[in-house]
A and B are shown apart, each in its own frame.
Chain A
Amino acid sequence: MNSPTTFTPVGQDELDWLGTDPVPTRPYYDPEWFELEREAVFRRSWQQIGHVCELPENGSFIRRELEVLGASLLITRGKDGEVRAFHNVCTHRGTILVDEEAGKRSTFSCPYHMWTFGLDGGLISAPDFEAFHVTKAECALPQVACEVVGGLIFVHFGKPESSLREWLGPYANKLEMMPVARATTFSEYVYDINANWKLTYDNFQENYHLRFIHPSAAGPVTSPDNPFAYPTAYDFHGPHRSQRIWTKPDMDPPTGVQAMAFQRGAVCAMSDGILGTETAKDYLGLFPNFFLFGSPMQHFSHTVYPIAADKSRGVIRLYWIGEDETPSERFAREYFMATARDVHTEDRAVIERGHKGLASGALEYLHFQTQESLCRHLFNMVSERVEAYRAEKEGVPA
């Protein structure tokens, strides 16, 4: 019997522009380098921090902590329906304004001296305000640039050089086409990891490890002509990158409870109109720390939040359209969430081992092969920004 396809991996010639040199290890564990990344990468990039479904009504709010910039953010949906982000800091004397993680309010009052702010960040009232030497207009909450594409909320702590949509380029349209743009709820799990954010992130942008670290999940998706389940294509736009996932054409059908979950889940995905979409095999990596996989059945995002040079936090969300409409849908969603969690569990353990080894200083360089080019691209993008920032600080050209 003939093999249904012959897989051809992406050739090195397509990726030569990224370089082939060994990559220095120090940026993956050095605290000094991490300090530079805070400013060069995270203060100067759009960062994904939430989804509009978390702000379902005018007056809805969420609080988000971004440890990499030491920031607490208050994100609101105003009376006008607009999503805005502010530093969650009372403008009187800097007290953190809101403690709750999420909720619905029309005003926010600081517990310290009862300064009260509106959903648009304006100072509405403050006791004995006449005794101050400033106007209310000057006391609005400090606003942070905030834009939405595909339902995903992004913030920028600096002065953005371009709009979010321009920055994302063609990936903005892809996001708009994906189920996330229509999502109304999600499943979420979170992990803390003793590893650098880039090392953590890199794990999720190469398939080389799949058959070794995920023997149960990867077995059915590999074949003799693609034993590592390498993707069919890579794509780059500015600091962002993506891969197109390969699927085994003659994959054995699932059995047992897994088969039931897929069968019931497929019915729901079909009724949501998200089966067979053009973006179903796209796996986007948006700079600096966000992934989104287009799969309609397991449509997950993964954000790797840096905390310190050797600490990160991963937040994984499976986005869904509509609440659980039927018990079958509830079953399928819980199963898919648990399946993804199993796979990410296996990743987490091996990433920590990687960090420990690199942080020992035993190696000066690490090595990326052709099919780890997305990792190399992230290194190049971070490195360019850190070097430019360092040169800027030192007043010399990069």
Chain B
Amino acid sequence: MHLIQRALALWLCLCAVQAVAQEELLLWHGYRGAERQALEQLLDDYNRSQSQVRVRALAVPFGSYADKLSAALPRGQGPDLFIFAHDRIGGWASAGHSIAPIDDFVRPQVLERFPDNLLGAMRYQGSLYGLPFNFKSTALIYNRALIDSPPATTAEMIAQARAHTDRQHGRFGLAYSYTEPFFHGALMNGFGSGPFDAQNRLALDSDTNVRSVQLLTEWVRTDGVLPEEPNSTLVTNLFNQGRAAMVISGPWMLGEIDPQIDYAVAPLPRLSASGTPLAPWVAVEGLFLSPWSDSKEAAYRLMEYLTARESAEQMAIAGGQLPANLGAFEHPQIASNDVAMAFRQQLETAVPIPNLPEMTLLWKPLENVLKKVVKGAAQPAAAMQRLQRDLQRDIAALQASQSRDAGPAQLPAWLWGLGLFLLLAAVTALLKLRRRIAATWRHNRTAYLYILPAMLGMLLLVFFPLLYGLLLSFTDTTLLNENTPLASRWLGLDNYVGILGDWNLWYGAGAERSINFDNFYWTLLVTVCWTASNVLLAVGLALLLALALNKPIFGRAWFRVLLILPWAIPNYITALVWKGMFHPQFGVINQALQIFGIAPVAWFDSVGASFFTGLVTNVWLSIPFMMVVILGGLQSIPRELYEAARVEGAGRWFQFREITLPLLKPVLIPAIILSVVWTFNMFNVIYLVSDGAPAGANDILITKAFRIGFEKYQYAYAAAYSMVILALLFCYALWQTRISRTMEAAR
């Protein structure tokens, strides 16, 4: 006994010593493949080289990385340090408790490793929040078989591009995702200061920004050297097929270039007008410190280690990164790599993406404006002015929510009253019914136990989020204040008033008057039209097909399988396939139209055509289910009924109207109810096919709610929006239940 106690004590002591001696650091990153291996190798070396600190790395799947950080960091549950792109610094710093400045630790000589622009990316409101690790910017990638020497000016670039453009045969001198703000940044920065002015105020309507959009419009519309509706896949494909002489893209594309293509990379050319170089945006991955870390000192030392020249060389050579420590580029193996050196050279003129929190609001609206302008649907100046106004409003909303927590706030008294009342009501009910509750519990104990897991699941996954959403909808929670106390965010019914009371149905006046697509009632109208037309078409076509397949026609079994097949394909894949088919230039639909001598349709430019793309996709997706349901219903109708009707002299139409349709009702009505709800909330198709084009005109309520929540970061407003959707569906369900009940009664 004595011995055991002693041994135990000794072991505990040893453990304690070990704990003191060795700090553990947790590092999160989103790397895969070679990058991950290179990083882990570095960390292994680090762990072996000393014994005080032990570093553990966690590779978070990239898709969920940002969300995971945003969820974990403010609650003190994240890593000690993490690697992430720099553009979120502003948001995290404003929200608080997410990221810690490293000014107290940093040694001046360490900062000399990095160029100023990369260091600048790590600064927000005067504080340094991390050390830059690597950078990614766009540059000019060109096909050496077509381009002898890269252009030095934009005029040269367009001239060369024009020589290689043959729209008839789908050949383009230049291709890049020019409607994406990340790419257009090169022009904005080249002309002037980018979306923000020197005082970090939004300046989208500045003369230089308007000129950048004008130049792009000229390239697209006048010079015609760029493909329509570009995206990264299209750009890569064109380049790989030798049908794009030059593309603007970043290091991420290099791995996808066909080995047959002899390519080279060069910095972007200078603007011919001013002689200033195009300045692409650079995304800087940095090493950041969690404010919750117990070992900040050790974490900082790890940052120094990882950004040291040897580490940088290893990350460059083994991991294929472009290291932020520019000393690594002197390593012979890197210095001899033309591609790496070209990006290194591009860095001289590149500008870090602004790390202001407002920047997150800018991506999608700016993209919408660029899409509109290059199609000639809007004038650059007017569009940018309107965008400036809209964004200023959204930014003001975010800032208002952030500044409000400065003042003391209290939850309204009635909320406490309501809570108290509900609690009292619950307690009274429990007391009143305790006998019955106890009795049923005794009687049905097993049954209750069986449903317990499901009840818990419902509580956790349905009722709690619902309640949380409801509560959220009465606040003005945004990206910037979600961690402040609820009381300071309380807003009352303002969100609902804002949604339902917004009668700004029009923009502008007179001849320039246009529909305000952001208005709730427009979106509601679109949603209702969307739902009605989808259900009508899907049910109608499915009925026709089911009627055909119910007859003993040749190859019936095969037709059935073929028609049900779309169901087996995940709907987002189907949606993306249709989106591809609707591409105005390369889509199979327009090509087919052209074969028949019909002019190609710009599918995503007008409200009607864009609506049609979603409609076709969703009907295509809905038919299999509807058809199976209807086929089942048809087969349950006794054959004698038709025989009796035939003997009675009824023709086909009469049989269909008087027998088939009424007897299908019991299957049709539930199917229609389901279909209505599914279509009403069909996020995937709208988001993936038309993406609400043009300019959000074809957004339905659910995609609009998503955009408010995750593109404008107005979480509370989005919650209120969702509550309105829920209320609408709830009314629909009530009405539907009444219909079904009368139907039951009539049977």
Q: Are A and B interaction partners? A: no
> Which A residues have a C-beta under 8 Å from some C-beta of B?
none
> Which B residues have a C-beta under 8 Å from some C-beta of A?
none
